[in-house]
Amino acid sequence: MDRRSFLLGTGTLTISQLLFGCSGNNQTQLKVQLLKGSIPGQVVNEFHKGLQQQVELKFAPVEQIQDLFRQLQNWQQKPIATDEQGWRRFLPFRQAEKTAPADLVTLGDYWLKAAIEQKLIQPLQQLQENQLKHWPNLDQKWKQLVTRNDQGNLDAQGKVWAAPYRWGSTVIVYNRDKLRQLGWTPIDWSDLWRDGLEERISLLNQPREVIGLVLKKLGKSYNTEDLDQVPDLEKELRTLNQQVKFYSSINYLEPLIMGDTWLAVGWSSDVIPILGRYPQLVAVIPQSGTAIWADLWVRPAGIATNAFSDQWIDFCWQPSTAKEISLLTKSNSPISTNIPAADIQKPLQSLLQSDGSVLDKSEFLLPLSPLATKKYESLFAKIKV
């Protein structure tokens, strides 16, 4: 599960390391480990100013979601009795074993099932309780995403395991100068099969994303469990593969910028930061719907509930804060912000001004059965040969 890698531009106001409040033995603390670039520093500052009592805030950024997931795993491991000067010094996060877990951690929705199954996190609240004041303001789509049973599967009777605070989508990004000679511009997944794009496309190296967009083209769901019941799926995948120059989940934008490829499929978090710097690039959300990802707050297992962590989540869900997070990190918010188009850079408007009809057709990549997951992986490997 090597979920997206974030390539945030220097224009985004980010936290390098924030510490608010005076350190002291009796000082109340709120410790947060977050995805780098996903929360602006001034938002944390505003939260600190609004607190009714002195609290020391420790916000530490981490480069990638997968590193945050490993940290959650590390906190649940029992110390190993062995020579400290031996092989353990080469382990990642070795120093973190000596520090207390954070009160809140960023996690991607794709990792949520594994975190619950492995007992790495604990519920934020039971449904009948009301610690999170702004929970009722979330659309049902977001409530369903984070309400799960103890196996990590969606369950309307389950517990609330996470709090979404921003989201994005899988998008098509293309070189307008190169496609001008073809006489058309892409608006949907079906355009990836059009003449003129042979070996001009880069796709994410992700079975769920690639097979998912083909399923979407065929009018099916990203979360189709039985691929054998989808006629022409393998045929469509093989035809698409002839259009593909390479698959990568990391280095798919550089060739597009250089003109080696004309079109790419990627995550909005990667794409948005470069659009302002390269005016020849244009990004669109496919009209038939796409895959959605979300950044979530989760609470590590074994951590006592901190009232300030609930306050922080509620603060992120305040409309004014949600708007600030969206504008400064160039992402979407699960809270309705009603941001005027004039407040958004023109190249980003199509991605950040959500079309309700397209959003309704879009889907989260939900957990599949192990058998279905294996089928996705084997089919993906088969068509790339």
Instruction: Output b/e per residue, 288-301; b: 16+ Cβ within 10 A.
Output: bbbbbbbbbbbbbb
pLDDT on residue 354: 60
> How many Å apart are CA 164 and CA 137, to the nearest integer?
12
% the chain with pLDDT above 70? 82
What was the pLDDT predicted at 118? Answer: 96
- Cα(168)–Cα(293) distance, integer angstroms: 6
Helix intervals (H) in the chain: 41-50, 65-76, 112-117, 140-146, 176-179, 207-217, 233-241, 254-258, 268-275, 307-316, 319-329, 349-352, 356-361, 370-384
pLDDT score for 341 = 66
Q: Of 185-189, 348-352, 378-382, where does mean pLDDT reach its minimum?
A: 348-352
pTM for the model: 0.84
Domains of the chain plus CATH, in order, are 18-167+293-354 (3.40.190.10), 170-292+359-384 (3.40.190.10)
The predicted-structure confidence for 297-345, as pLDDT tens digits, reads as follows 999 999 988 889 999 999 999 999 999 998 888 888 898 777 766 667 7
Question: In the structure, what pLDDT confidence band is assigned to residue 176 with cuts at 50, 70 and 90?
Answer: very high
- Whole-angstrom distance, CA of residue 47 vs CA of residue 37: 17
- Minimum mean pLDDT range among 78-82, 109-113, 175-179, 375-379: 78-82
- Cα gap 318→337, rounded to integer Å: 9
More confident: 129 or 263? 263
Measured in Å, how far apart are the chain's first and last C-alpha atoms? 22
pLDDT in tens, 55-82: 899 999 999 999 999 999 999 986 544 4
pLDDT at residue 97 tops 90 = no
**4: CB partners within 8 A, 6+ apart:** 65, 108, 249, 267, 269, 270, 293
Q: Residue 13: CB partners within 8 Å, gap ≥ 6?
A: 40, 41, 42, 328
Contact 44, 31 (CB under 8 A): no
pLDDT-derived band at 24 (thresholds 50, 70, 90) equals low
Q: What is the pLDDT of residue 4?
A: 41
DSSP 219: T
Give the three-state DSSP class for 148: strand
Position 14 pLDDT exceeds 60: no
When mean pLDDT is compared across 21-30, 169-178, 225-234, the lowest value belongs to 21-30
User: Nearest to residue 14, comparing CAs of 80, 106, 78?
Assistant: 106
> How many other CB atoms are there within 10 angstroms of residue 94's CB atom?
12
Mean pLDDT computed over 113-117 = 96
- Give the model's confidence band at 19: pLDDT under 50 very low, under 70 low, under 90 confident, else very high: low
Segment 244-272 shows an average pLDDT of: 94
pLDDT higher than threshold 70 for residue 151: yes
Contacts made by residues 1-5, CB under 8 angstroms, sequence distance 24+? 1/66, 1/69, 1/110, 1/111, 1/114, 2/66, 2/249, 3/65, 3/66, 3/108, 3/110, 3/111, 3/293, 4/65, 4/108, 4/249, 4/267, 4/269, 4/270, 4/293, 5/64, 5/249, 5/250, 5/270
The pLDDT of residue 345: 72
3-class SS of residue 233: helix
- Mean pLDDT calculated for residue range 261-267: 96
- Asked whether residue 240 carries a pLDDT value surpassing 60, the answer given is yes
Q: What percent of the chain has pLDDT over 90?
A: 68
Q: Give residue 5's pLDDT.
A: 36
pLDDT band at 95 (very low <50, low <70, confident <90, very high): very low
β-bridge partners, 28: 55
Average pLDDT, the chain: 85
Predicted confidence (pLDDT) at residue 131 exceeds the cutoff of 80: no
Average pLDDT, stretch 146-169? 94
User: What's the pLDDT band for 113 if we cut at 50, 70, 90?
Assistant: very high
Q: What is the DSSP letter of 304?
A: P
Closest by Cα among 175, 149, 130, 170 to 281: 175
Q: How far apart are CA 249 and CA 66, in angstroms?
A: 14
Q: Which two tokens stand for residue 91?
A: 């382990």
Give the mean pLDDT of 250-278. 92
